[in-house]
Amino acid sequence: MGENRDPICSLALNCSRRRLPSNLFVNFYNELVNEKYGSMINSGEETDADIKQTNVCEKISSSLLRLLDSEKHVLIVDYVVEVLFINYNKELVKELLPQLYSIGDSSQLVLFLSKASAFFLRLTDKLVIDQICSDLSDVIIPSILPASFSSQNDEMVVAIAKFLRNILSLSSSPVTISDPKVGDKIRELLNRLSKTNRLLHKKVAGDFDSLLKLGGSASVTVKDERHGISSPSIISPRYLESPLNVTKPPQSLIPSSINHQTVKLVRYCKNLWLNSKIMSWRTNDVLFVTKYSNIETEIMKKTQPLHLNVEAAMKDLIETAFTSFAQFVSNKQYHQANSAFNLLERQWTIFITKQLPLHILENASDMPHSIINALENIDHKVIKALKSYASDKDDAKNRGEDLFDDLPNKNTDIRHDFLKSLIMIGLQPAAVLNDFLREDQVVDIKSLATNDTVVIKNAQGVKETVDNFAQFIKDTIEDLDAESMFEANDGSLGNADNGIMQILRKFETLAATKQRDLANVFYDIFHESASSFDCKTFSKACCLMCFNMSHSLSTMFAFVNPQKFLTVAVEFVDQIWESSVRKASAGLNDESDFEPNTEFVCFTYALIFIVQVVGAYKISLIEAVSSSSSDPQNSFAVNYITKLGDIAPVLKLNSTLNSSEVLKSWVRDLFINGSISDSLMKSANVKDLAVLIPFIFKESLLAVESGSIRDVSALVGGFEYFLQPFLIVGLVGIVFWAEQYLTTLQSKGLNKDLLESIFEMLNSVLNPTTLNDESRPLHTLILRLNTVQLLRATRAFQTQAQSSYGTYSSDSEGSPKLDSLVSHLEQVARSSILYNVDSSVINSEIGYQRKDINYTSFAITADNSINSILTNQVNSFWNLHSSTYYNIDYLFALIDIITPQRFLEDMLVVLQHKATDATLSNSRTKGSDGENLFYLDYFFYFLVSHDVMKAENKTDILQYMNSTAESDLIFRKPAHEFQPTTKVEQPSDEDFDMLFGEDTSIPGNESEFNINEIKSDEVSPINPEFLRCSFAAVLHCSLLANKAALELGHISDAVVNQLTQLHDKYIEILKSNTV
């Protein structure tokens, strides 16, 4: 092919042999062309040497065509596409495209067109896009169309159609084709495509309708007899311009259409509002029902003003609550196989069975018939989902008791728990439960509690009624002996007869009114004891809440926002403890009077509470610090939590500049003297100990691992002091660091003896043979903070043996010390209430090989890739489902992974592409006169709900969004343009079919797209905290950045206008009463 005589061909072939990417080839190509022909070929500007430039383009075109015709290599095609459209030159395109059909191998040409089509979807360079769009009408489109389609095969027709469709999508305005011959060729293409690929023809014709304007045809006009208007099809014999005006529905149909879409939007907004309020612990508002009723009023006011009364609002709230919960559990069952979220599930249960009855008590106590009517009106699919959920939960609890029992163990579900709660607070008679159960089963109504009286057993075992409940709680907490709560042998909760223990053990059976009273009393005790530095009472309150017996802590948070509890704990750790201890120490006259146990234990309980609330409940620590009088920059709680699990290579204590001397003193007393001196104890600072103890433990393990220390008996003896009440605060850091250490240790391949020594040291603090009574609850609570991940790390060292017959054996190959540690951690996990953890992984006691424990509750897998998750969710927005495809806790976890900016960009681009891509038959959700862009309402309501959950007051977000100055909180680059690859869609299924078991992710009912490479955005620290990881910050800062770019002339008005519309849409929803 004359390779030696053609430098461009030689370069391309050499690069392809080395498999160099196309962008690298383009760099070499530019150097070659500039050296051989000068820079004018790449300038794209007219010069005085136009004839010479044309000759150069002819030579390059000839070389590129020769490459395509002679070399069947995918990289060669990539090279040509990049040269043609990245180094865009009008003359080169005009010269090459018409000659494409001279290529002998049609498959090579089809490959070129397909590669070019895919290239246009990825193209984001604004300058290149503008150059291409300016040449569409007179250069590219006329050149790409062959002289006749009769000689082209079906593959070629499809490739040409896709090429034109994708390149037209780059244009933001319709392209005018004035040449009638070109118009005839386009019609011929569509005519041929309708016989080849009807589905593609439907989409291409729809795109051409909106993106092309054809004129000059003298053919006879064909009328649509049904409507008396010209056919909207571009293949009509007489087509003059884009027929968007005739695709609008008759005006008489618009009100009906709006009402249908609005009703679906109301359902969606109520569902999302309820989920977000429950998830953010904001369901105890006295105006909760009023705010709920305002949602429908706000949305419907534009078309059908409503004035809902309290009875109607309450009935609607009940129906929506059960429907939304059924959708939640169905999503969890059918669509979320790669996650283990169950905290929101517990929050939903608390809301329906406890808080909803209280809202009825306060707003509709005189309307008992309305409550039953609301339950009777619940859709049968919702009831089926609720029964299935209750049966599955009950079977899971009793699994293994009777392998031959196929019947559910009970026929009640959450509706009956709701009724029982109403009966207990006097809103329904006991007989209503049997009336409502009907065919399910009959219960003995005499066994039902018909009031909210609390009954306990006294020391003599006699039942007695609690009269003054609040005072009883205070008195029993004061009388509680925390050490008696535990069994001496395994550390599990014992059968203490203390009144508060009895109440917490049966907490779920308490009436809603008493649960609310207990939550308020606990907060008062917690706050008052912290303020007065009553360490004993404060420690007991912390201990009881941290054990979360019968989900009591979670229920307290439903009635008293957890942010209030966390604020008290943070203020205690950061300020109250320090100042109070300083005053107490200053008043000591005799060293023998110094007793650090009580104060140090109190601090440890507070620290455990903070770690648990922040870790398990995901409550913002920064917001708590901001709400308290603490300084975020100097907050011990913030610094400790953010570094939890990391132990610095060099010890640095905050209370002294001479950290090394303090370290020497402690090492000498622990491992050499065998006892801690009184002077060292008196000078100890608990905040220093929280850092010092983990540092000593880490250095000891590393010394053993390196072989510096072989006899670990002295170390183990010293570690026993770490479990004393005044030093056990250091165990918090150890349990988090040990997980990371074990994870890295497994890959080091240490010998068995060394591992034995390491596990002996770990056992000494994590699974000690003895513990004093005061340390026992602390040790158990600290282990619970990270027991799941510790269990994952330790199990990795165990190897399962298999028999030669392929069956699994439960015998573990490993050290007794390792097995003892794993067994203890399993026991701790089984006795704990753990959220967002797969309980089957923890509680599995069968002999088969267990499923691995995940690092997090959300796993990205091949079957559940980010692309597929986003595809399903974008279809849910587009199809206007009444619930998000995945539950919001799942989606929020995904957003944290891929960042709000990436989620917003990918979702928005695909939704906009689908709107552009929609044809007459499926475009009823598109904007037209009298209609809103409903998919944007769905999408932006979700965005605003996400952000409002993080802000105490949405006016703070509104104030930020309305600011006009450049923000120093966050800076992001303008959003990248992105085009998806869509698949053919089918009409969406009904909401209930999707939500209760039908999988809408099947091919043909989704739009697949490849999201951009996930990158962590470089974001500067944001203050206030609610703007961190928010869509508000992304939209507002993008708008400010784009406005600045517009002033510099870098972007067009159209880009800023589009972003302004999205920004205004966010503000519109934020201002409404729907969030």
Q: Contact at 8 Å (CB) between 580 and 300? A: no
Same domain, 472 and 561: yes
Cα–Cα distance measured from residue 749 to residue 322, given in angstroms and rounded to the nearest whole number = 54
**Backbone dihedral region for residue 983 (phi beyond 0: left; psi -120 to 50: alpha; all else: beta):** beta
* 629, 652, 677 - which closes a domain: 629
| Cα–Cα distances in angstroms (integers) from residue 1031 to residues 464, 579, 948, 1075, in the given order | 55, 41, 10, 15
Residue 427 lies in a domain: yes
Same domain, 442 and 539: no
Burial of 942 (0-12, 13-18, 19+ CB in 10 A): buried
Looking at residues 910-937, what average pLDDT do you find?
64
Residue 246 lies in a domain: no
Q: Is 808 helix (H, G, I), strand (E, B) or coil?
A: strand
Task: Tell me the pLDDT of the chain averaged across its residues.
Answer: 80
Same domain, 489 and 434: no
Q: Is 223 helix (H, G, I), strand (E, B) or coil?
A: strand
pLDDT, tens only, 615-645: 999 998 988 888 777 777 888 999 999 999 9
Same domain, 371 and 518: no
Beta bridge partners of 486: 493
SS (HEC) of 309-325: CHHHHHHHHHHHHHHHH
Cα 492 to chain centroid, rounded: 34
The residue among 332 and 1002 whose pLDDT is bigger is 332
Same domain, 354 and 391: yes
pLDDT at 512: 96
CA-closest candidate to residue 421, choices 285, 512, 324: 512
Looking at residues 722-739, what average pLDDT do you find?
94
Q: What is the DSSP letter of 966?
A: P
Could you tell me the two tokens for 908?
A: 């928005």
Give the number of residues written for the chain: 1075
Q: Contact at 8 Å (CB) between 590 and 549? A: no
How many Cα atoms are found within 13 Å in the side-chain-facing hemisphere of 430?
11
Residue 483 lies in a domain: yes
Residue 493 lies in a domain: yes
| Cα–Cα distances in angstroms (integers) from residue 403 to residues 400, 468, 844, 1054, in the given order | 6, 48, 17, 67
Same domain, 471 and 429: no
pLDDT at 400: 42
Same domain, 308 and 275: yes
* The pLDDT of residue 996 is above 60: no
* 576, 597, 629 - which closes a domain: 629
pLDDT, tens only, 493-545: 665 678 899 999 999 999 999 999 999 999 999 999 999 999 999 999 999 99
pLDDT over 90 percentage in the chain: 36
pLDDT at 339: 86
The pTM score is 0.72
Same domain, 894 and 924: yes
Q: What is the DSSP letter of 586?
A: H
Residue 576 lies in a domain: yes
pLDDT, tens only, 1035-1044: 999 999 999 9
* The pLDDT of residue 153 is above 90: no
pLDDT, tens only, 972-988: 333 333 333 333 343 34
Burial of 616 (0-12, 13-18, 19+ CB in 10 A): buried
Residue 219 lies in a domain: no
Pairing verdict, β 799-802 and 808-813: antiparallel
Same domain, 896 and 1018: yes
Q: Is 1040 helix (H, G, I), strand (E, B) or coil?
A: helix
Q: Contact at 8 Å (CB) between 815 and 850? A: no
Same domain, 301 and 353: yes
* The pLDDT of residue 53 is above 90: no
At 938, which amino acid appears?
Answer: Y
* 629, 655, 678 - which closes a domain: 629
Could you tell me the two tokens for 303?
A: 């078309």
Q: Is 926 helix (H, G, I), strand (E, B) or coil?
A: coil
pLDDT, tens only, 193-245: 888 777 788 778 888 887 888 764 433 223 333 333 333 333 333 333 333 33
pLDDT at 554: 97
Residue 473 lies in a domain: yes
Could you tell me the two tokens for 995?
A: 């939500």
Burial of 385 (0-12, 13-18, 19+ CB in 10 A): buried
* The pLDDT of residue 801 is above 60: no
At 499, which amino acid appears?
Answer: G
Q: Contact at 8 Å (CB) between 172 and 129? A: no
Q: Contact at 8 Å (CB) between 8 and 87? A: no
* The pLDDT of residue 115 is above 50: yes
Q: Where in the sequence is the domain holding 413, given as residue range(s)? A: 259-334+340-447
Same domain, 415 and 479: no
pLDDT band at 490 (very low <50, low <70, confident <90, very high): low
- Most distant CA atoms of the chain, gap in Å: 112
**Backbone dihedral region for residue 880 (phi beyond 0: left; psi -120 to 50: alpha; all else: beta):** left
Could you tell me the two tokens for 1032?
A: 């508000």
Work out how many domains the chain is built from and give that number.
3
Residue 996 lies in a domain: yes
Q: Contact at 8 Å (CB) between 317 and 329? A: no
Q: In angstroms, how far is the first alpha carbon of the chain from the final one?
A: 69
Same domain, 440 and 306: yes
Cα–Cα distance measured from residue 1057 to residue 107, given in angstroms and rounded to the nearest whole number = 43
SS (HEC) of 650-664: CCCCCCCCCHHHHHH
pLDDT at 895: 93
